[in-house]
Structure 1
Amino acid sequence: MLGDVFDAVQKRPWETTQWHSPKQLKERRQAMRAVLERYVIGAHLNFNIDMKELGSLKPDSSMQGFWEFRSGLPVEQTRLFGFFGRPGAFVATSFQPRGNFGGMSDPAWKAVRQDGEKHWNDLFGEKEYIKMPWPVSAIPSFLR
């Protein structure tokens, strides 16, 4: 995880305002950490709820290989974006509130992906991230 992304997950994804109390900010961070903890220990993750490959609906999509971990309700949803370098090795490039994005046609999605790819290239140069097959299994280990 990039240092500034880790800092955002740990400390400050959003400034505290009258609409976002310190308690709400803490709940958002806890929700994302809970999703990541389930991923790290190999617990069940629900695809399209806890995580999603953003190009999965269109195989030729420019979003192919770009993933998001999702935290959901009851707090404002957050997204942790990044790429898999190899199975089980996720490189997080951005952490943002879901409210920053409209529908999938919103240019903000492509912008966060382009920014993520720039971070990837700064770190790994020409090394490709995984596009296909998926670097994670959609079947929980206890069912395999």
Structure 2
Amino acid sequence: MYPITPIHSADIIPFPGWKCAFMGSAKLQPVTDADLIELNPGINKLLLKPLPLAWIAKASRLGNSSLKTALALWYVHSLQSAIMLSNRHRGEGIYITRQASELFNITRNCEREGLRQLETAGLVRVTRKPGSKARVLLRFE
């Protein structure tokens, strides 16, 4: 295993789940949420930003799968905002990571059903492509 020593947040490749071991290095390693927290010591405070209560309340009325999916989406959104991965193309969206799925106990079926319900309620906009995870844009209105 190569040591991971990013120089700036720009060293982190703007794709969730991967980062560069050294600036300009071609060696990529998978990243867990724990690695991201280790790289950013203040991240726990940043993750405590308030949940959009009206958005979460709407999601909770849709059912258990949509609430779990909404919380996982908010977690991923907060985590990526905290480490400034949002320098990706605006409008590209986020997706529920494997770690978030495990943390919130979300199965693939639960995720699909939750995303469908959230999209129908107008809380998210989902972009689906064959062979890849659904990209989600959160809609706070």
Give the structure-2-normalised TM-score: 0.28
Could you say which structure has the higher strand fraction? Answer: 1
**Bigger CA radius of gyration:** 2
Could you say which structure has the higher helix fraction? Answer: 2
